[in-house]
Amino acid sequence: MESDPTPTDGGASAPRAAREQDLDWTESERGARFAFRRKQLGAAAGGRDIGCSLYEVPPGKRPWPTHYHEGNEEALFVLSGSGTLHTRDDAADIDLRPDTYVALPSGGEYVRQVENDGDGPLRYLALSTMNHPDVTVYPDSGKVGVFCGSAPGGDSNTRTLHDYFPRDAAVGYWEDEPTDDP
């Protein structure tokens, strides 16, 4: 059932549906290690507080660097293919197979990286809260990403800040502030 997205109650919209076959893929590739295709289902259906994307990762590739979020919870649901969800503790790595659901709460104990180590495409749904601001930590490279105005994966046109900083970059609270009267 498809509904009209026209507001009927002073600004709120009726529920909308997004059909995967109606959406175009966005593609990303970085070097020999990272590649994916993505369809933003949540945004297409008008979602605000929960994001949902369909990902397809080619064999031997990873969609994102190792990371965790301080402000957003994520979850994965595997549709087809196989892979591994790498964690900071190799003994805790999770085999990704069809019908596997993995909850990834916010915080440093939930470091993750998906890898397609199968022979065909790995297809999964990635769901997340869309809280902002969010800080995303990348432990392998020692950097953090700061997202304000919209969450990671959200509308980049509404972001007031989206930058990456070395994790050890720091300044004092009063540094460069005018503390004396002119």
Q: What is the mean pLDDT of residues 132-148?
A: 91
Q: According to the model, what pLDDT value does residue 6 have?
A: 41
CATH class of 24-131: mainly beta
Omega before 121 cis (within 30°)? no
pLDDT for residue 12 is more than 80: no
Q: What is the mean pLDDT of residues 157-169?
A: 84
- Contact present, 85 and 76 (Cβ < 8 Å): yes
- Contact present, 78 and 120 (Cβ < 8 Å): no
Q: What's the pTM value of the predicted model, to 2 decimals?
A: 0.84
What does the DSSP assignment read for 48-108? SSEEEEEEEE-TT-BSS-SBEESS--EEEEEEES-EEEE-SSGGG-EEE-TT-EEEE-SSG
pLDDT for residue 145 is more than 50: yes
Instruction: Convert the pLDDT of each residue in 83-131 to its tens digit.
Output: 999 998 888 999 999 999 999 999 999 999 999 999 999 999 999 999 8
- Contact present, 27 and 36 (Cβ < 8 Å): yes
- Contact present, 95 and 84 (Cβ < 8 Å): yes
Q: According to the model, what pLDDT value does residue 68 have?
A: 96
pLDDT for residue 77 is more than 90: yes
pLDDT for residue 46 is more than 80: yes
Mean pLDDT over the full length of the chain: 89
Instruction: For residue 139, name the pLDDT band (cuts at 50, 70, 90).
Output: very high
Question: What are the residue ranges spanned by the domains of the chain?
Answer: 24-131
Cβ neighbours for 68, distance < 8 A, ≥ 6 positions apart: 104, 106, 107, 108, 110, 111, 112, 136, 137, 139
Q: What is the largest CA-CA distance in the chain?
A: 68
The lowest-confidence range among 32-36, 70-74, 162-166 is 162-166
pLDDT for residue 11 is more than 80: no
One-letter amino acid for residue 27 of the chain: E
Check residues 124 and 169 and name the one with the higher pLDDT. Answer: 124
One-letter amino acid for residue 99 of the chain: D
From residue 9, give the alpha-carbon distance in Å to each of 6, 13, 78, 156.
9, 7, 37, 28
